[in-house]
Amino acid sequence: LIRAARPGFNGLEIALYELAQRRPLRYLNLCRQLFEAGAFQLNGQLLEPSALLRQSRPPHGARSVDWFIMASLHEAGHKSDTAELLESTLGIVPASTMTYWVEALLEILNVGYQSTVNFGAWEALYRAAQLRQRNEFVLALVKATLLGERDPPLLGGNLWASILACRGQSGPLPDPNENRLVLTLYCRGARLQIQPDRQAIEANLLGVLWEA
């Protein structure tokens, strides 16, 4: 399990988790580069932890190598885009940043994102269930209230999660006439199973990201 244990790193935690699950040899190669050279290549760019980062202690629950990879990517974001840095600092990782991390880490050419803020949440999860049956990756941007948290503040209020399984109560695919789903998610270093109803999905699912 991969855990960042720090606000603003939730998206990186999920992207690195998907890398370790789907491209374990590539994940191990990044770890090896860090141990042997103190830096790693990603998307044609050499990323090296800063001196301050190398002297820091990983957050509780995070492994050193995972923390250095995530923090190096986060530091690179500090230098490249002030607006996205601000969003990450507030605990909100925008879809454009998440798309870049997934494409770069997993070496996927096209990642698509569907916003479900206004409509389409139930339909998006039906497609997610189809993709998961084919063992393709699906990430969801959700409000923390979907995971049972009480009205969290802005910091950490929106979270990325890997959808590990999505099914209806009466079968492997959600039935459009059903009012409840069984969702298995990976988020914050743990597997969670929840059974939200349609109203909760439509109120708390903000977007879905998958390979286009």
The ranges assigned to domains in the chain are 10-106, 111-211
Task: Give average pLDDT by consecutive 10-residue segment, the chain, 212 residues.
Answer: 66 92 94 91 86 80 84 70 53 81 90 93 89 92 86 67 88 76 91 92 94 85
Any idea which residue has 């880490």 for tokens? 105
Which has the closest alpha carbon to 210: 118, 156, 139? 139
Give the C-alpha distances (Å, rounded to integers) separating 104 from 58, 67, 138, 164, 189.
23, 17, 16, 21, 21
Give the C-alpha distances (Å, rounded to integers) separating 121 from 64, 85, 98, 114.
37, 27, 19, 9
Q: What pLDDT shows up at residue 10? A: 84
Q: What pLDDT shows up at residue 165? A: 92
Largest CA distance in the chain: 56
What does the block give as tokens for 137?
Answer: 């990756």
Q: Report the alpha-carbon distance of residue 108 to residue 100 in Å, rounded.
A: 10
Q: What pLDDT shows up at residue 87? A: 57
Q: Report the alpha-carbon distance of residue 131 to residue 176 in Å, rounded.
A: 17
- Is residue 30 within 8 A of residue 40, CB to CB? The reply is yes
| CA–CA–CA angle 111, 113, 114 (5° rounding) | 150
- Is residue 202 within 8 A of residue 122, CB to CB? The reply is yes
Q: What pLDDT shows up at residue 53? A: 80
Instruction: For residue 64, give the amino acid letter.
Output: S
Q: What pLDDT shows up at residue 8? A: 67
| Residue 177, phi then psi, degrees to nearest 5 | -90, -10
- Determine the distance from the C-alpha atom of residue 126 to the mean position of all C-alpha atoms in its chain, rounded to a whole number: 19
| Residue 209, phi then psi, degrees to nearest 5 | -125, 135
Q: What pLDDT shows up at residue 191? A: 93
Burial class (CB in 10 A: 0-12, 13-18, 19+), 92: buried
Burial class (CB in 10 A: 0-12, 13-18, 19+), 40: buried
